[in-house]
Structure formats: C-alpha cells, structure tokens
Chain A
Amino acid sequence: MLKKNGVLRELVTNRILFLMLLPALIFFLINSYVPMVGIYYAFTRFDFNTSLFNSQFVGLDNFKFLWKSGVLARLTLNTVGYNIVFILLGNVLAIALAILLSELRLQWFKKLTQSIMFLPYFVSFVILSVIVYNVFNYESGFLNSTLKSFGYESLDVYNTPWVWVFLIIIFYLWKNIGYSMVIYLASITGISEEYYEAAKIDGANIFQRIWYITVPMLKTTFVMLLLFALGSIMKGQFDLFYQLIGNNGVLYNTTDILDTYVYRSLKVTFDIGMSTAAGLYQSLFGFVLIMTVNYIIKKINDEYALF
C-alpha cells in the first residue's frame, strides 16, 4: 500500500525521466553542493598539505581581520554601489534607446544600428581590456595622442582612481546596453498598434504616447530583468573589473569588489582562509538580500516574486 505512492514507485514508473535528469543532478551536486562543505575553510588557517577537517580551527579570526581592516565594508560598498548604478542606468538607457529606435522608419537603418549596438556583447572582456588600454594608456593611448596633437598635457589615467568609477560604468554600458535594448525592443514590438491609434485619435502627442502607453507596457520586462540583476547583486561583474583593473593596487579603493578580492587572494596572495571568508560573506549577504527582496516583492505583487 505504501509503495503505491512512494518514491520507489515513482522511480520505477518514470525511470526514463529520472535517467534523463540524472546528469544535471550529478553536475549540480558536484559543482555546487559539494563545495558548500568547503565553507569550513573560512574558519581555519589553511594548509594545502592536510585535509579539510585537519586544518587548524581559528573560529571567526578571518572574519574579524577582514572586518577590522575595513576590507569588508569597502568591498560591500563597491560591489553593491556599482551594481545599483549598472541596474538603474543600464535599464533607463536601454529603454530610452529602444523607444527612440522603435520610432524610426528606415528599416535598414534600424536593423544596422541595432546590430552594431549589440556587437560589444559578443566581444570578450580580454578584448575590452585591450580597447581600454588602447584608448587610455599614458604613452600612446588614443586620448593622449589626440590631446598632444592639440597641444594639451597628457593625462595619467591609470594612476587616477576616481576616473575609473566612470570608466567602469561607461564600459559596462558599452558592453551591455545593446543586449537589454534588444529585449526591450522586442517587448515594444509586441505592443498592439491599436493602443497608439486610439491615443492619436484622442490627440495624444508622441511624449504622451510614450509615457502613458509604451513605458507602462515595459513594466513586466523591466521587473523581470531587475529581479535577475538583483539576484546577482553581490556577484559583481568580475570579468569587467578584473580585466580593466587587473592587479593595479593604486585603483583598489574605488574599484575593488568582492569577486576581485576573492580571486586575488586565491591566485596572487594565496590567502586561502581570508579568501574563503570573504566568499562566504558574499554568499550569505547575497542570500539574505535576495530573500528580503523576494519577501518584499511577494507582499507587493505576488506575480513578480522570484519563487
């Protein structure tokens, strides 16, 4: 009797489905769930020669050090700060460009410009670092050679931390704007012409039509993209930051995020305990943040909640 609705019964009747799902389950088990055990390293003084649970237990020392040295506060501020700017500016600009593009009539021009704006999304971050170096390096960068030819002094961009706040944002937008624009453009194309016709008959001008029809219709897409972005707010754009800044210590204050710190501690300074601690903090902080956001969204509008 028990077996009729039990796990075993289900395993037998749907064995093919189980088998088809199995590779994915094994993959996530090894790739995602097993490393969770390694969180223990955050509470030890790491020693590569001994096994995980033989390493010396030091309690919260790693966290205490990170907290006292001010590293955690700076990293959190940078990680969250950049992400908020990315999300807000990225979406607003993508929406604006999508609206403008949708109003154009020349079909070939629309297709061509859309393709070109989407192009940077396909290019690797290594190439992005080449581009940035090409434009901003001190001796031969495009910026400085242009300045020189007009008789101005050269700028030492690679030694000026505050500039990179803007550069990182600009190049984030450069790389991602075409992608989100295409998604918004798709949503705009999906809006029925009838709404606009009716609005025109009522005498609404173009700005009124955009504000009262297009923008509200994009809300679903916006919330969807926003939620995806919020989900990874603690995982900053590692590739972007690391490829632009690398190990240039002069710029850490304004450009170091949790991901770059963890990577550097692992690969450059070999500080495994500290690195795991920072990683665990990132995971926990992110987890709490997502749960809170999801809870709030669920209260406001159940349909938009992530889960």
Chain B
Amino acid sequence: MKIKDDNYMKWFRLIAFIVILISTVACLFPFLLIISASFTQNEAIIRDGYHLIPTVFSFEGYATVFRFPKQVLQAYGVTTLTTVIGTTLGLFLMTMAGYVLQRKDFKYRNFFAFMIYFTTLFGGGLVPWYILMTKYLKLTDKLEVLILPGLMTPFLIILMKNFIRSAVPDEVIESAKIDGANDFTIYSRIVLQLSMPGIATVGLFLALHYWNDWFTSSLFINDTTKYQLQYYLYNVINAMSFVAQMGSGTGVSLGSDMPTESTKMAMSIIVTGPILFLYPFVQRYFVKGLTIGAVKG
C-alpha cells in the first residue's frame, strides 16, 4: 500500500514541478524581454522587433539616459524623498492609531475604529477630493501633496491594530501602567519593540505605494522638476517627447535619430532597478509578515 502511494506521488510531484516551473517562467519572461531590449541597438529594434536575446548588443539606451541625467536624478530625488518621509511618518501615525484602537480601556475605540473603516465603504469620490486639494487646500505643485494623501489607509491601520493586539499581551501594558509609565511611553518603549514584524510589513506596503506612485503626480503636479519617478517614465513613454524633454534646459539640440525605443527600455530598468535590487532582501520580511497576518486571520 505504502509503496504504491509513493509511486503515485512521484508522478504528482513531477507534474507539480512542471506546472510551477511554467508559471515561474511566465512571471519572469516579461522582465527578460525588457532587459534584453534595453541592451539592444535601437535600429535593430525598429528593424527586427523585440527579441528575447539582443539581436545587436548595445549600451546606447543607457548612454542616452545618462547623457543628460538631470531630470532622471531629479525624479529619483523626489521619489526617494517622498518614500522615506511618507513611510516614516505614516508608520509612526498608524502604529499610534493602531495601538490606541486596540486598548481595551479606551472607551470610544469601537466608535473611532468604525469612523476610519467607514471611509472604505463610502466616499465623496475622486472629483470632490481633487477639487478640495487643488481649489481649497491649494496643494497643486507642492511636494506635500505627494506625501500626505498616502500616509494612512484604513486597511493598514486595521492590520496594525490586529498585529499589536496579538503581539502585545494586555498584562504587559497593565504592569507597565502600574510601574508608572504613561501611555506614550508604553507605546514607544514596549509596543514598538514587540510589533517589529508587523511594522516591517506595513512599512513595506507603504514604501511600495510611494515608490510606485504615478497617480498623485498626474493629478497635482505640473512642474516637471517635481515629477515622481514613475510619472516621469510614464511621460517619457507616452508623450514621445523624450528628446525634447532631455534637451530642454541644456541648450543642446538633439537629432531626431535618438535611440528612443532602447532608451525607453533602459529607463524602465533604471526606474525598476532599486526594487529589483532590494527585492531579495525585502521579500523575506514581506512574506514573513503576511504569513503571520494570514495564519492569525
């Protein structure tokens, strides 16, 4: 009986292996196409199209991007700044809110939790929000507008609340209170230390949101020096005015035979770069945090 089952399992595992392998390749394949295209000579792309392996190998795509690096570096700067500030500030405020909302001796916790949750059920919609931001708060072309709207989401606050509840036993808070610690001290000295995996997960969600954001720029930013990285790339790809953008302000007029296709692909790699580079390190924590959340859920 046992031997028969093992035989069975061999076949099952082989099929599982093949299916997983195919899915993995399917997930990886598009990246390979872009990487390959970024290293292909532009004329070769126009003549032969995109291929999995560069038909004519060339660095000209990257060379073009870095010939006038000002705009790319600016966009990098804006994105890095908003990501760092937004993630730090957002984490601080959301862990505090999460901590307060799970305190059982806080009488109105359910009322406030519902007030926050309710915003996911019903809202004014995009347009009233847009008008509030531009007409009444006058945030157009301000760096604040790239940071503030993304600071907190109900989902992440609830995640944080649940995480703190399961990571910090009530007795610990009680005994700290008896020892004379005030609520903020308990939060900063005890709660933050004990909920590190949850903070890492929420922080990654938040950082990813800021890094990949193009939408906020598209709504509120007209000043090209304040474009987020993704929106800069979006414009390069869609407006087809890459040459004009790169040349503007440098006083150099560029020929129309610029390697635009390969440059676009090189830009994509440069924009994605930090994520692809950080991914192997970051991924472990993300999976760990999600795992804890899911099993508890």
Contact = CB atoms under 8 A, between A and B. Distances in A.
6 contacts: A23-B97, A119-B27, A220-B297, A276-B125, A279-B128, A283-B122
Given A113-B24, A116-B28, A186 B265 contact: no
A292 interface: no
Interface string B198-220: 00000000001001101100110
Given A10-B107, A37-B128, A203 B1 contact: yes
B9 to A, nearest CB: 6
B93 interface: yes
Contacts of A117: 23-24, 27
Interface string A117-140: 111101111110111011100011
A129 B8 contact: no
A253 B100 CA distance: 47
Interface string B251-272: 0000000000100110010011
B127 interface: yes
B166 interface: no
Nearest to B237: A130
A289 B211 CA distance: 33
Q: A interface, by DSSP: helix, strand, loop or mixed? A: helix
A35 B125 contact: yes
Contact of A124 (B105, B106, B107, B272): B272
B16 interface: yes
Interface residues of A, number: 103
A231 interface: yes
Interface string A275-305: 1100110111011001100000000000000
Nearest to A128: B30
Contacts, number: 277
Interface stretch (B42-50, B56-64, B66-74): B42-50
A50 to B, nearest CB: 11
Interface in A1-45: 10, 14, 16-18, 20-21, 23-25, 27-28, 30-39, 41
Interface of B: 1, 5, 8-9, 12-13, 15-17, 19-21, 23-24, 26-28, 30-31, 33-34, 37, 45-46, 48-52, 93-94, 96-97, 99-101, 103, 105-108, 112, 114-117, 119-132, 135, 148-149, 151-152, 154-155, 157, 182-184, 187, 208, 211-212, 214-215, 218-219, 230-231, 233-234, 237-238, 261, 264-265, 268, 271-272, 275, 279-280, 283, 286-287, 290-291, 294-295, 297
B24 A17 contact: no
Contact of A206 (B9, B17, B19, B279): B9
Given A20-B183, A174-B27, A41 B20 contact: no
Contacts of A205: 5, 8
Of the candidates B21, B218, B268, the one having the most CB atoms from chain A within 10 angstroms of its own CB is B268
A21 B51 contact: no
B283 A20 contact: no
A305 B55 CA distance: 56
Nearest to B211: A124
Given A134-B33, A142-B52, A279-B125, 5 more contacts: A24-B97, A32-B124, A124-B271, A221-B294, A239-B215
Contacts of B9: 103, 206
B272 A123 contact: yes
B19 A97 contact: yes
A122 B12 contact: no
A161 interface: no
Nearest to B28: A116
Given A17-B106, A174-B26, A142 B112 contact: no
Given A100-B19, A113-B21, A131-B34, A145 B50 contact: yes
